[in-house]
Amino acid sequence: MKRLYLLRHAKSDWSNMGLVDHDRILNRRGQKAAALIGQRFKDFGREPDLVVCSTALRARETLDRLMAAGSYNWNVQNEKRLYGASPDTILSIVHQYGASCDTLMLVGHNPGMADVAKALAGDAKPGLLERLISKVPTGAMITLEFDIPSFQGVRAKSGMLTQFLRPKHELA
């Protein structure tokens, strides 16, 4: 059994329009959301063997705040290809980095994260697929499980969508 966590970065700050997109930080709502997801991650029951994070500042800050909130000390690899990645690129990253682990987390951006989750989810717990199709907001965490021996076997519709956390709903 392989498990893939897809984390979309939390809400970013647009107040400094002079910054290039890659260098935007989180706003206060994003900081709070990332910490909340970090606290809730303990409910997942299984931590990632490896985290692959976009090099964009807001993605790295999302991961840092999540890890701080849960007191996690995960193995993290920064990957510039996750910035603006297409579903095909994300899938190639899963195949590459997943070779040596059972549980993998990717921290990235939309539309790629939402699109790859939709493409990989062949089945889902009741109600989750509809929510995923509706919207993957900033700070959302998607969990997909695969009944395969290696991440090399991850293909379209091969996963089971088992969890979908959205910060706004977790705060309610």
Structure tokens at 94: 């899963």
Those residues whose C-beta lies under 8 Å from the C-beta of residue 62, and which sit 6 or more positions away, are 7, 9, 10, 26, 30, 34, 107, 139
User: Is 167:36 a contact under the CB 8 Å cutoff?
Assistant: yes
Report the C-alpha dihedral over residues 129, 134, 138, 140, rounded to 10 degrees.
-20
Domains and CATH numbers, the chain: 2-11+20-171 (3.40.50.1240)
* The pTM of the whole model exceeds 0.85: yes
Q: What is the pLDDT along the chain (172 residues), one digit of tens a residue?
A: 999 999 999 999 888 878 888 999 999 999 999 999 998 887 777 899 999 999 999 999 999 999 999 999 999 999 999 999 999 999 999 999 999 899 999 999 999 999 999 999 999 988 899 989 999 999 999 999 999 999 999 999 999 999 999 887 654 3
